[in-house]
Amino acid sequence: SRGVKFFLMYGQTEATARMSYLDPQYSITKLGSIGKGIPGGTFFLVDDDGKVIEGTNEVGELVYEGANVSLGYAECVDDLMKDDENHGCLHTGDLAYRDKDGFYFIVGRKKRFLKLFGNRISLDYVETFLKEKLKECVCVGDDSKLIIYTTDIDYVENEIIDFIVARTKIVRTVFSVRYINEIPHSESGKILYKKLNID
């Protein structure tokens, strides 16, 4: 209403903060997207073996290339003498997919995924769609199980698991629900996943 154009941007410190932008004209039609690479920068996705993913709607690690990528890390003064270690390429650690129009969507962090019966499952993604049903929940687990912690006692375990199975198409025996009074957070508001038992 004020004639202001809002550009959503995504980036990491290692690439001088900005790596992508979403043009305001796509704010609604591409809701949730980080957009496309900034001028002079490009994105691509790689699978677990480091091979480039050419198809659309396939999840892989988001990789960025551009002149704004840092040379590397310096932990002491001697490290400042190192050569360019990144060579203009940054593995972000984020998992994403690319749609048919070339827009990228982040679904979670690489460290926050499991492989259940050979299926890659992003814990962040599961948390996102569970919040369509639950008021508050977090997911943890290992490659043999996925545990949902929730404070929402309005739904019984079977209802929650039915909802997950319908979305993931994975056998229900790997899922379990645990009810807790409060989700543990740090003073800065970050979820303390390590305080949630997976045994």
**Strand order, beta sheet including 145-150:** 137-142, 145-150, 175-179
* Ordered domains of the chain (ranges, CATH): 8-109 (2.30.38.10), 113-195 (3.30.300.30)
CA-to-CA separations, 58 to 46, 126, 143, 183, in angstroms, rounded: 10, 16, 20, 31
Render pLDDT for 137-170 as a digit per residue (tens, 0 to 9). 999 999 899 999 999 988 899 999 999 999 989 9
Render pLDDT for 77-115 as a digit per residue (tens, 0 to 9). 999 999 999 999 999 988 899 999 999 999 877 778 888
Average pLDDT over residues 190-196: 87
pLDDT at res. 194 = 84
Render pLDDT for 39-56 as a digit per residue (tens, 0 to 9). 999 999 999 888 999 999
